[in-house]
Amino acid sequence: MQILKQKLEIQTSQQIEFIDITKDVQSFIDKAGVANGQVTIFSPHSTASIAINHNEPMLIKDFVHLLYKLAPIDERYNHDMFELTKKSDSDGRSNGHSHCKNLILGSNQNFLIEKGKILIGKRQSIFFVELDGARKRDYYVQIIGE
C-alpha cells in the first residue's frame, strides 16, 4: 500500500468561482500508478471549499446565486467587526460571509479509485470552490492505495 500526497496551486479570478479540477486529480492518480484505493482532495483555506456536482454553466450560476443567498455579502458578520476592531493577522478582507459559505460546503471530498480511475458519476466533476477571490490558492490531493 502507498500513501502519496501532492500540493497543487490554483489562481482564482472571481469572488465566488467553481474551478473544475477533475482532470488534475486524475492526472495525479495516473502518475502515481495506483489501481485501487482512495483519493482525498483537501482545501487548507477557511474561505475555499472542495465540492462535487455537475459541471454545467447554468447550474454553476445557480450554485453561485444560492451561496450569495445563504450568506449574503452585505449581511453584518461579527467576524468582520472583530477584524476591524482588534489587532489580528487579518488580510484586510471583510469576509465573514466567505467563512460561512465554507461551513456549508466543507473543505474536503473523498473518492474511490478503481482500476486507476476516480469512481464518480458520468456527469460529476470535482470543483475547487473559491469563496473569497480573487487570489492564489492551493489544495492537496492524497492517494492511499495499491
In this structure, which amino acid lies at residue 135?
R
- 5 within a domain of the structure (yes/no): no
pTM, rounded to two decimals: 0.92
- Cβ-based neighbour number of residue 124 at 10 Å: 15
Q: Residue 94 sits in which domain range?
A: 47-114
- 19 within a domain of the structure (yes/no): no
The grid coordinates listed for 34 are 495506483
What's the structural domain count of the chain?
Answer: 1
- 66 within a domain of the structure (yes/no): yes
* Cis preceding linkage at 32, omega within 30: no
Rounded distance, CA 24 to CA 112, Å? 16
What is the 8-class DSSP label of residue 75? Answer: S
- 128 within a domain of the structure (yes/no): no
Alpha carbon 128 to its chain's center: 3
- 13 within a domain of the structure (yes/no): no
Could you list the pLDDT tens digit for every one of the 146 residues in the chain?
Answer: 999 999 999 999 999 999 999 999 999 999 999 999 999 999 999 999 999 999 999 999 999 999 999 999 998 888 887 656 666 665 667 899 999 999 999 999 999 999 999 999 999 999 999 999 899 999 999 999 99
